[in-house]
């Protein structure tokens, strides 16, 4: 009886030590054990997947089929959609012109009058148009023209971040990146675009540094003594109050010096319309990934929706993509926005590896290397410097969440695809990133 109990206990220990959630791959057992034991990851929900696309085998897998809040790793899916449907050059606007009337259809292009883009063909086109009447058309779904296709703020975004530059509001015809930029010049705060100069209110004397607080429901900006010495960026409120466009008074009219009216309409198809192209698509995707630009990612998803569905709806285009191009994902994600600002997003490490493999196969690894930051650049600026040009990856950070997914060219010249998602940490983001860096460097060394 005693021998039988000992044998049963031994078998039980063996079975539990080999369970999928605890199993450590032989490919890099020490590295994974060290990662999971790091104090920065204490109490976290962590998933790891390292995959060799040449052999189609997973090398390291730990909770890789479990769901995580991915933060800005969500941008990989928005980037895939953009690369799939936006072509080589962004469509700045669609238009039709006849009988002295120019109808401009907003396409959601975030580069219009954005300070990062000096060349502005859409601006020149509108400014120099010969039409007597210019109408800016906001497209509604043809099957429900009264439906508001999308909200300025995404589902699940933190409402009290409205004053932060990383949460620029979405729109069908963005201008200046939907950001007002404030600078201090000899004790006086100046704003660009100058359209908002009459909406500045000083709360006291400003000397060498300042802060800006926007009213939540309007474009009234309050200037106070603060900690910023250079540029302060604040999102522009989209809506009927000082909207980017309105019939009587608008930022667009003020900028191009033309009389423009806003109309809301439905088109059964946009295929007959002419196009003005603005920028090469990769000139948008690269900063989107290098500095993790939320606004660029959100507008990319809306442009894809306009291209594929004929109207802008983040919800509808996500549903369409998951039923078509992304129907082969290992686990169906919960995907709600383009940037990853929402904590409603839920993806698995296997999902990210799959979309990265699709991007490599469909668009080429060299193009992906150009779009994603490498060691010592972009959001990897302080990390992975010893393997610059051998790692190309997207970071992700929210409070309590850290993510990293991308490509790794190992010391032995083997291309791997990986995803590491860490949720619910109570340490510092930098501490978690350093722990992840140690793991990745070990994989690079030994594979």
Average pLDDT taken over every residue of the chain: 90
Query: Is residue 274 situated within a structural domain?
Result: no
Give the pair of three-digit tokens for residue 51: 């995959």
**pLDDT at position 260:** 87
293 shares its domain with 424: yes
Beta-sheet strands, E only, within 300-350: none
Verify that 296 and 206 share a domain, yes or no: no
Give yes or no for residue 339 having a pLDDT over 70. Answer: yes
Rounded distance between C-alpha atoms, residue 373 and residue 395, angstroms: 9
Tell me whether residue 1 is in a domain: no
Tokens of 285: 């995707």
Q: What is the pLDDT of residue 79?
A: 98
Residues 389 and 297 reside in one and the same domain: yes
Q: Which of 237, 259, 278 is the last residue of a domain?
A: 237
What is the pLDDT at residue 206?
83
- The 10s digit of each residue's pLDDT in 285-294 is 999 999 999 9
Q: Which two tokens stand for residue 330?
A: 């290992």
Asked whether residue 87 is assigned to any structural domain, the reply reads no
Kindly state the tokens that stand for 30. 């020490």
For range 179-185, the mean pLDDT? 94
Query: Residue 243 above 90 pLDDT?
Result: no
- What pLDDT, on the 0 to 100 scale, is given for residue 145? 66
Whether residue 320 sits in one domain with residue 191:
no
Does 222 lie in the same domain as 298?
A: no
Alpha-carbon distance of 26 to 21, in angstroms, equals 15
pLDDT, tens digit, for every residue of 247-279? 445 888 889 888 888 888 887 778 889 999 999
pLDDT higher than threshold 70 for residue 332: yes
We report the CATH number of the domain holding residue 73 as 3.40.710.10
**Is the domain of 188 the same as that of 317?**
no
pLDDT score at 185: 86
418 and 316 in a common domain: yes
Residue 216 and residue 294 in one domain: no
- Confidence at residue 237, expressed as pLDDT on a 0 to 100 scale: 92
- Confidence class for position 240, pLDDT limits 50, 70, 90: low
Least confident of 92-106, 134-148, 308-322, 414-428: 134-148
Instruction: Please report the pLDDT score of residue 2 as a whole number.
Output: 44
408 is a domain residue: yes
Same domain, 327 and 393: yes
Q: To the nearest whole percent, how much of the chain has pLDDT over 90?
A: 75
Q: How many domains does the chain have?
A: 2
pLDDT at 208 over 90: no
Q: What pLDDT score was predicted for residue 144? A: 72
Range of the domain at 313: 25-82+289-446
Stretch 316-338: mean pLDDT, rounded?
98
* Stretch 379-402: mean pLDDT: 98
Coil, helix or strand at residue 409: strand
What sign does the dihedral 142-148-153-156 (CA atoms) show? Answer: negative
Q: For residue 171, is it within any domain?
A: no
Q: pLDDT (tens digit, 9 = 90+) per residue, 363-387?
A: 999 999 999 999 999 999 999 999 9
The closest alpha carbon to 234, from 188, 183, 277, 274, belongs to 183
The residue among 359, 356, 361, 352 whose CA lies nearest residue 331 is 352
Q: How far is CA 322 from CA 80, 198, 325, 332, in A?
A: 12, 46, 7, 8
In a domain, 163, yes or no: no
Are 198 and 300 in a shared domain? no
Task: Encode pLDDT of 154-176 as tens digits.
Answer: 999 999 999 999 999 999 999 99
Whether residue 304 is found in the same domain as residue 408? yes
Only one residue has tokens 């292009």, namely: 109
Whether residue 135 is contained in a domain is answered as no
Per-residue pLDDT, averaged over 64-91, amounts to 98
For residues 232-249, give the mean pLDDT.
67
- Does any domain span residue 277? no
188 versus 303: the higher-pLDDT residue is: 303
pLDDT band at 37 (very low <50, low <70, confident <90, very high): very high
Q: Is the pLDDT of residue 3 over 70?
A: no
**Within this chain, do residues 230 and 301 fall inside the same structural domain, yes or no?**
no
Given a cut of 90, whether residue 413 has pLDDT beyond it is yes
């Amino acid at each position: 009886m005693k021998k039988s109990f000992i044998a049963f206990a031994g078998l039980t220990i063996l079975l539990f030590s080999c369970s999928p959630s605890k199993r450590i791959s032989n490919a890099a057992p020490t590295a994974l054990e060290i990662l999971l034991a790091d104090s920065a990851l204490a109490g976290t929900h962590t998933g790891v997947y390292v995959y060799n696309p040449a052999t189609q085998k997973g090398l390291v897998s730990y909770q890789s089929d479990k769901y995580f809040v991915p933060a800005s790793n969500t941008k990989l899916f928005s980037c895939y959609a953009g690369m799939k449907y936006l072509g080589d050059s962004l469509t700045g606007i669609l238009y039709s012109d006849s009988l002295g009337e120019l109808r401009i259809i907003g396409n959601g292009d975030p580069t219009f009058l954005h300070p990062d883009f000096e060349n502005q063909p859409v601006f020149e086109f509108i400014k120099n148009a010969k039409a007597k009447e210019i109408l800016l058309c906001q497209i509604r779904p043809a099957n429900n023209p009264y439906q508001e296709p999308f909200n300025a703020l995404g589902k699940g975004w933190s409402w009290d971040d409205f004053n932060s530059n990383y949460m620029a509001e979405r729109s069908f015809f963005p201008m200046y990146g939907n950001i007002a930029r404030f600078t201090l010049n000899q004790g006086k705060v100046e704003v660009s675009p100058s359209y908002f100069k009459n909406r500045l209110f000083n709360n006291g004397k400003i000397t060498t540094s300042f802060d800006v607080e926007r009213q939540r429901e309007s474009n009234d900006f309050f200037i106070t003594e603060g900690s910023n010495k250079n540029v302060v960026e604040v999102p522009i409120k989209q809506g009927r109050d000082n909207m980017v466009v309105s019939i009587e008074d608008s930022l667009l009219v003020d900028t191009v010096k033309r009389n423009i009216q806003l109309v809301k309409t439905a088109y059964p198809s946009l295929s007959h319309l002419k196009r003005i192209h603005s920028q090469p698509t990769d000139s948008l995707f690269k900063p989107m990934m290098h500095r993790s630009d939320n606004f660029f990612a959100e507008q990319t998803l809306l442009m894809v929706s306009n291209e594929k569905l004929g109207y802008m709806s983040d919800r509808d285009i996500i549903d369409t993509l998951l039923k078509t191009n992304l129907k082969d994902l290992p686990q169906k994600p919960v995907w709600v926005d383009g940037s990853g600002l929402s904590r409603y997003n839920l993806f698995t490490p296997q999902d990210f590896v799959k979309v990265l493999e699709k991007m490599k196969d469909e668009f080429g690894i060299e193009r992906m290397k150009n779009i994603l930051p490498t060691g010592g650049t972009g959001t990897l600026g302080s990390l992975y410097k010893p393997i610059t040009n051998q790692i190309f990856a997207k970071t992700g950070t929210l409070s309590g969440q850290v993510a990293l997914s991308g490509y790794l060219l190992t010391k032995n010249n083997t291309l791997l695809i990986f995803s590491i998602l860490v949720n619910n940490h109570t340490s510092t983001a930098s501490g978690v990133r350093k722990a992840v860096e140690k793991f990745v460097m070990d994989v690079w060394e030994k594979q």
